[in-house]
Structure 1
Amino acid sequence: MASSPTHRTALSAAARADALREALATRVVVADGAMGTMLQAQDPTLDDFQQLEGCNEILNLTRPDIVTSVHDAYFAVGVDCVETNTFGANHAALGEYDIPERVFELSEAGARVARESADRFTVETGQQRWVLGSMGPGTKLPTLGHAPYTTLRDAYQRNAEGMIAGGADALLVETTQDLLQTKASVIGARRALEATGANLPVIVSVTVETTGTMLLGSEIGAALTALEPLGIDMIGLNCATGPAEMSEHLRHLARHSRVPISCMPNAGLPALGKDGAHYPLTASELADAQEGFVREYGLSLVGGCCGTTPEHLRQVVERVRGAVPGERDPRPEPGAASLYQTVPLGHL
């Protein structure tokens, strides 16, 4: 029997995190889809952006109603969790607007807005809803010397501390393109958890381009070898491509990852037209792909990225509701990784 809404609202932050871990271990959890395009579709004004046009994180403070409407649209179609509007709440991205000192403020506000939406839907439906704290990649690649690793790491710690304060149930390091930047995010998240005494899952989602590697040339095996020892709770893929291009990378993770796997693809590869980029994958096609991935690769967390809409996620929810991840028999290969590839220790 489902817990009553009253019981659901009584859950502490620690209990919510434990419940999320339990859900990820026993069934398929569904996250939301694209956010930026839905925010922009509501045509926020320059005043809404505090004259910082395009800085979506500012809307957490000036127009929480717009941000809430996006979260609500995804919760309304049945997703289990939404990502905070904090993708750019990091040193590199906010630094381009000359407001890097606002990392904590905007992170806390983004998590609080999402928390309020999640709690309201928990009450209304009796189904526990969660908040994933989005930690985006920023615009600086430390491997290429764009910014010091320690500067990025410490800012990611403030990013994570803000989202913990705002009520996030997990920290999602997403859309990562540079393994050193990914490490900065994960270590920053870990430091925030230690500093606050929180115990939230840390999820990492890397971005593999159509070239078959991350932006700087890292293969998925190198990412797994480099990141799994950092104590992450889950690893997966998001952005850059549609599900078809992710299949072989997910296959590698399914065979070798000790931790659960996630996948949040774009709605296919974008096609450029006179009105800009168009993502061609239909809602039923995304649902087909995610259902197949759950069965074949044992995914625990699914969702969408660029070009996906509430309708895409509604059909994913319908397709995987009640499903459990397919059986996996991972055979981890201890190895060493360079930036580019992993080499099993037995081959050295």
Structure 2
Amino acid sequence: MRGGGLREALASRVVVADGAMGTMLQAQEPTEEDFQQLEGCNEILNVTRPDLVRTVHEAYFSVGVDCVETNTFGANLAALGEYDIAHRVHELSEAGARIAREAADRFTRDTGQPRWVLGSMGPGTKLPTLGHVPYAAVRDAYQQNAEGLLAGGADALLVETTQDLLQTKAAVVGARRALTALGSDVPVIVSVTLETTGTMLLGSEIGAALTALEPLGIDMIGLNCATGPAEMSEHLRHLARHARIPLSCMPNAGLPVLAAGGAHYPLSPGELADAHEDFVRDYGLSLVGGCCGTTPEHLRQVVERVRGLAPVERRPQPEPGAASLYQSVPFRQDTSYLA
């Protein structure tokens, strides 16, 4: 069954995912015709220039990563809606997954090392908590997104870069409905994004995210984007102490530094590898990778550093509670005398 091999790998060793996608695509200088006059819509390249997308996947597989993310970060209602092509969610999702699947299968055959595909489900540009878009519409579009990814051959569904807990729930529920509709069983991974403020975009703390999302039956929770590994450490510490499920981390290559040529990510490949090695040993991560600013060289060094490591056994102490949008409130009974 698809996804089963990935589950076994995550339980027995550290699995390495890829790094940045968008910058790698832009570096190949796609034309306006490639974008079908929808400049910046990278998902269109899944049907117009699959060779460009395949090149990125192959660059990461060539340095030894175990899995790549599909080029479907924006294949959702809000992002595609801005280009007036929201009706193409399923089509572009399936096309993106199929490109990654073909690359993964080829490298599996050529190397004998199993390679997997993570179906990327990005956050979109509308926040249902703020009333930008109805929850039901977002949920149903995420189901189309997930069904396309599964039809194209994804081994897992990765709900990533989430900034709004209601949007995250919509994506997870949409993913679950897709799995049920297609009779599939692959892991559902959620990766939240915490800003330099220490919270998600709408102010949610990591404890609120864990309390709200873990009961939805997700297979893994973690962090990605917005910051480098240094800023993620305390949030990972909280997850390591309280999460019942495995953990992941895909940081940026540090905080961006503005230079004459634009934003520059300062974290070197060796520094990213150092951070992931520490995180695996300290927090028991099962899945590691990179986000903005990371390159195949970053991931090559991560692969070398964590290859052969098994996730450190954690002894989490979950604390039952309820979450508001902002924080988790534990169910603690105060039995002290009150006069």
Taking structure 1 as the reference length, the TM-score comes to 0.95
Q: Deviations over 1:120-147 (max 9, x none)?
A: 0000000010000000000000000000
Q: Distance in 2 between matches of 1:347 and 1:235?
A: 28
Structure 1 unaligned runs (5+)?
Answer: 1-13
From 107, 112, 118, the equivalent of 1:126 is: 112
- Is the counterpart of residue 64 in structure 1 residue 50 in structure 2? yes
Ranges in structure 2 where 5+ consecutive residues have no aligned partner = 335-339
Give secondary structure in 2 for the equivalent of 1:313. helix
CA distance in 1, matches of 2:207, 2:155: 28
Equivalent position to 1:321, from 307, 332, 335: 307
Looking at structure 2, the residues matched to 347 and 313 of structure 1 have their Cα atoms a distance apart, in angstroms, of 47
Match of 2:337 in 1: none
Aligned to 1:292: 278
Q: Which amino acid aligns with 2:111?
A: T
Match of residue 75, structure 1, among 56, 61, 65: 61
AA in 1 matched with 2:83: Y
Aligned to 1:97: 83
CA distance in 1, matches of 2:311, 2:8: 13
Change (3 A) 1:49 1:347: farther
* Cα distance in structure 1, aligned partners of 2:330 and 2:191: 23
Do residues 85 (structure 1) and 66 (structure 2) align? no
Q: Which amino acid aligns with 1:49?
A: F
Residue 331 (structure 1) aligned to one of 317, 328, 332: 317
Q: 1:221: which partner in 2?
A: 207
Is the partner of 2:55 in helix, strand or coil? helix
Deviates more, 1:203-212 or 1:322-331: 322-331
Instruction: Output the amino acid matched with 1:172.
Output: L
The Cα shift of 1:347 comes to 5.2
AA aligned to 2:23 is: T
Secondary structure at the counterpart of residue 132 of structure 1: strand
Q: Match for 1:116: what amino acid?
A: E
Cα deviation 1:198-249 (Å, max 9, x = unaligned):
0010000000000000000000000000000000000000000000000000
Match of 1:282 among 246, 249, 268: 268
Aligned to 1:11: none
Q: Return the alpha-carbon distance in structure 1 between the equivalents of residues 16 and 171 of structure 2.
A: 23
Tell me the distance in 1 between the aligned counterparts of 2:242 and 2:58.
36
Q: After superposition, where does 1:178-193 map in structure 2 within 5 Å? A: 178-193=164-179
Deviation at 1:326, TM superposition (A): 1.4
Give the CA deviation at 1:327: 2.1
String of CA shifts for 1:240-263, please: whole Å, max 9, x gaps.
000000000000000000000000
| Aligned residue pairs, count | 334
Paired residue secondary structure (2:3)? helix
Pick aligned residue for 2:248 from 262, 273, 287 = 262
TM, length-normalised to structure 2? 0.98
What percentage of residue pairs aligned between the two structures are identical? Answer: 82
